[in-house]
Amino acid sequence: MSRRFGLPTVGFFGLAALALALGACAPAPTPTPPTPVVIEKEVTPTAAPRPREFVLGTGWEVPPAYHGNPFAPGGVGGAWWFVFQPLLIYIPATGEALPSLAESFQEAPDRITFRLRQTGWSDGTPFTSKDVWASFVLMRLMWNWPGEVDRVETPDDRTAVIVWKQPLANPKALLSSAPILVNTKAYGKFAEEAAQWLGRTGPEAEEALNKVRQEVSNFKPEKPIAIGPYQVESVSASEMILTKNPHHYAAGQIAIDRIRFLRWTSNEVMWAFHLAGELDASHAAAPKDVADQILQRQPKTRLHLVTDLSEFALLFNLRKAPFNDVRFRRALAYLIDRDKVREVAYFAGLTSAPYSHGVLKSFEERWLGKDFLASLTAYNPDPAKAEALLTEMGWRKGPDGKWRDPSGRTPEFEILAQAGATDWVLAAEAIATQLNGQGFQVRARAVEPGVYPTTLRGGQFDMAIQFGSAWWGTAHPHTGYYRLYQGEAAEFTGAKDLMKTAKGPQGEEVDVAQALDRLLKEPDPERQKAIVRQLAWITNENLPALSLLEKRLMIFHVDGVRVTGWPAENDPLWTVAPGAIERFYAHLLIQGILKPAP
């Protein structure tokens, strides 16, 4: 507690203490004028030494909705990555994987064989390969995920083999985001039942599967059964407390006794927690000045920026003129100063300029290389080039400085953004302002979050701010291009139907869906790069969306108050954080990297 007590506080505490003392009818001697020191003493009567704890912010369901079944609504909450643990941890920055719940693993083109650790669940049962099998069966039953897994083989208790349907480009990243969730003791019966029917079709199978799904959803243990380093001790509306899982293999090595989660309701609440020094780490996105305030007021706080594996982009509606003309999209790319957009919308981001090739900025050298990058069109702000493209399309600038389309009209455009997502709204506003200053009539409009995806999917927009290439889950360009050409973003822009084929770097005709499929199944890194370059070329030259910035997490972390030992600034471990930041914290604790501060 570093809070300074002001005079009124003293008076307040004095009065309150007096009132309570009187109420208790204690035969009190005449109270001496209270001073903060005296009150402090009164307030904490010989407090037991506080457990060595680590204070974080997260979200969870309020009891009594809270329960421990990861597959049923309301389960587990932010404790997820502390009570569950993946077989391995994938580090996006280096592409290597560290064994986690497995002590070692061997890769083959169609499978990974894991040697499991000797560790235990918090209910005392030992960890076996059957638990791995049950977890994957239930994930497939309840989430229909991960579709890449064909089956899990269990040759013996300590060996689990995950067999893919086909060779995969980056299978380790996938497994890194699929922790082991359930043991056979509690969930085995559901898994057995589901396994009989999974893969079969027809009404009978459908009915049987729905019945199991219902049973799983209705199973609500009070707390999660943990395989990870911590177990849930107590949950209330304002905090959730985890203590060590005594059966965990690293229990002796972990020096932090408990995790205390404060409720993360909104970023500004997290800022206030940081400003008051009550929090050890969070990734609450903050404007620069707020970040400066936090670092200044709590000098032991540090800020680390690490990729979120996603980017913000300006999506174009390819179904609609003039956005269906690539020249128009490129003209806009020359008119928008993307670094200025980053400054106001998300200063911690990495601007994507001058390219828009669908590979995240911090990965572009690794995947594309300097030489290839130089062969791409660079969209630096350049009004002259934009003007040339527009003129070529038949557009003319009128005497009022406004652009007129070939029919002589001055069209009005809208940039949509999701209401409440301030960074997106600010980006939309910044782009609109820039374009308005260059002869267009553009308005930014915020749309209700519930309606936003349906509006975009229905094609009722001109331009919109959304995630562009996002690599969550796999940390691989395939996921990003899938999103741009097949997934959600493609449904928004219309690229799913309108960009089935495109010209590659050598003028060759590329079937985008086929290229994606080849990329997914290609285990050889060099051949993967060739396909990625083809797709990067297509994306950069055709611009189904204009990448604005790579989103970076702002990880505020306090060193030397309650915990110490954070990784160094350039440690690739930080890149475990995106997508699941608690997985990163948990890994640091298991490895004994994070220790109690002296």
Partner 1 sequence: MRGIRRVFLAVFTIWLVATLTFVVVERAPGDVFYLMAQEIAQARGISIEVAYAQVRSMIGYDPTRPLWDRYWEWLGGLLRGNLGFSYFYRISVNQILFQALPWTVFVLSVALLLSFGIGVMLGLVIAVRRRTWLDPLITGYASLTDATPDYLTALLLLILFALNLKWFPSKGAYDSSLTPGFNLPFLLSVFHHATLPILAYTLENLGAWALAMKGSAVSVLGEDFIAFARARGLKERRILTHYVGRNAILPLVTGLALGFGGMFGGSVLIETVFHYPGIGWFFKFALDHRDYGMMRGLLILTTVAIVTANLITDLVYPWLDPRIRMEG
Partner 2 sequence: MGAFLSDLLHALQGNRRAAVGGLILAGYLLAALLGPALIPLDPTMKYAERFRPPSLAHPLGTDYAGRDVLAQIVHGSRDVLAIAVLTALFTTAMAVGIGALSGYSGGALDALLMLLTNIQLTVPAVPVYLLIGSVFQVRDPLGFAALISLWMWGPLARAVRSQILSLKEREFIEAARVLGLGTSHILLRELFPNLTPFVVIHFIRIMRDAITASVGLIFLGLAPFSPTNWGTMLNLAVFQTGAIYIPNALHYVLAPMAVIVLFQLGAIFFAHGLDEILNPRLRAPS
Binding-site ranges for partner 1 (CB under 8 A): 3-4, 6, 8-9, 12-13, 16-17, 20, 42-44, 59, 61-62, 64-65, 71-74, 78, 80, 142-145, 176-177, 213, 217, 236-239, 260, 262, 265-266, 269, 272, 276, 278, 308, 420, 448-454, 467, 470, 472-473, 479, 483, 487-488, 578-580, 583
Whether residue 322 has a cis bond before it, omega within 30° of 0: yes
Element (H, E) at 39: helix 36-43
Per-residue x/- track, 333-372, partner 2 (CB under 8 A): -------x--xx--x-------------------------
**Looking at this protein, which amino acid is placed at residue 445?**
R
Which residues have CB under 8 Å from 570's CB, separation 6+? none
CB of residue 4 to partner 2, shortest distance in Å: 16
CB of residue 421 to partner 2, shortest distance in Å: 10
CA distance 491 to 440: 27
Residue 320, token pair as written in the block: 């609609």
Binding partner of residue 321 among partner 1, partner 2, none, CB cut-off 5 to 8 Å per kind: none
Is there binding between residue 412 and partner 2 (CB under 8 A)? no
* Cβ closest to partner 1, residue 247 vs residue 583: 583
Element (H, E) at 556: strand 545-558
Binding partner of residue 8 among partner 1, partner 2, none, CB cut-off 5 to 8 Å per kind: partner 1
CB of residue 422 to partner 2, shortest distance in Å: 4
Binding partner of residue 375 among partner 1, partner 2, none, CB cut-off 5 to 8 Å per kind: none
CB of residue 300 to partner 1, shortest distance in Å: 18
What is the footprint of partner 2 within residues 261-280 (CB under 8 A)?
Answer: 266, 268, 271-272, 275
CA distance 494 to 323: 11
* Cβ closest to partner 1, residue 418 vs residue 540: 418
469, 352 Cβ separation under 8 angstroms: no
Which residues have CB under 8 Å from 533's CB, separation 6+? 367, 368, 372, 505
Binding partner of residue 28 among partner 2, partner 1, none, CB cut-off 5 to 8 Å per kind: none
* Cβ closest to partner 1, residue 159 vs residue 455: 455
Q: How far is CA 118 from the centre of its chain?
A: 31
Binding partner of residue 298 among partner 2, partner 1, none, CB cut-off 5 to 8 Å per kind: none
* Cβ closest to partner 1, residue 321 vs residue 451: 451
Rounded to 5 degrees, what are φ and ψ at 229?
A: -70, -20
Which residues have CB under 8 Å from 223's CB, separation 6+? 67, 68, 231, 232, 235
CA distance 57 to 159: 36
CA distance 224 to 220: 9
Which candidate, 199, 226, 229, 173, places its Cα nearest to that of 473?
173
Binding partner of residue 340 among partner 2, partner 1, none, CB cut-off 5 to 8 Å per kind: partner 2
* Count of residues that bind partner 2 according to CB under 8 A: 30
Three-state SS at 71? coil
* Cβ closest to partner 1, residue 65 vs residue 108: 65
CB of residue 290 to partner 2, shortest distance in Å: 3
Is there binding between residue 303 and partner 2 (CB under 8 A)? no
Label the pairing between strands 350-351 and 396-397: unpaired
Binding partner of residue 145 among partner 2, partner 1, none, CB cut-off 5 to 8 Å per kind: partner 1
* Cβ closest to partner 2, residue 333 vs residue 446: 446
* Cβ closest to partner 2, residue 433 vs residue 460: 433
- Which residues sit opposite 102 in a β-bridge? 116
Q: How far is CA 372 from the centre of its chain?
A: 29
H-only helix segments in 177-282? 184-197, 203-218, 267-275
CB of residue 451 to partner 2, shortest distance in Å: 7
Q: Which residue has the tokens 């099998």?
A: 133
CA distance 448 to 446: 7
* Cβ closest to partner 2, residue 401 vs residue 507: 401
Which candidate, 477, 553, 81, places its Cα nearest to that of 308?
553
Number of C-beta neighbours around residue 391 at 10 A: 14
CB of residue 487 to partner 2, shortest distance in Å: 26
* Cβ closest to partner 2, residue 120 vs residue 439: 439
CB of residue 520 to partner 1, shortest distance in Å: 13
Interface with partner 2 (CB under 8 A), residue from 3, 24, 289, 384: 289
Residues recorded for the chain = 598
Residue 487, token pair as written in the block: 């997934």
Three-state SS at 188? helix
Which candidate, 140, 137, 170, places its Cα nearest to that of 153?
137
Element (H, E) at 527: helix 525-542
Binding partner of residue 487 among partner 2, partner 1, none, CB cut-off 5 to 8 Å per kind: partner 1
Interface with partner 2 (CB under 8 A), residue from 360, 425, 456, 548: 425
Is there binding between residue 445 and partner 2 (CB under 8 A)? yes
Is there binding between residue 444 and partner 2 (CB under 8 A)? yes
* Cβ closest to partner 1, residue 44 vs residue 407: 44
**Looking at this protein, which amino acid is placed at residue 576?**
V
* Cβ closest to partner 1, residue 307 vs residue 438: 307
Interface with partner 2 (CB under 8 A), residue from 422, 486, 542, 564: 422
* Cβ closest to partner 2, residue 42 vs residue 292: 292
**Rule CB under 8 A: which residues touch partner 2?**
266, 268, 271-272, 275, 286-287, 289-290, 293, 340, 343-344, 347, 419-420, 422, 425-426, 429-430, 433, 436-437, 444-448, 451
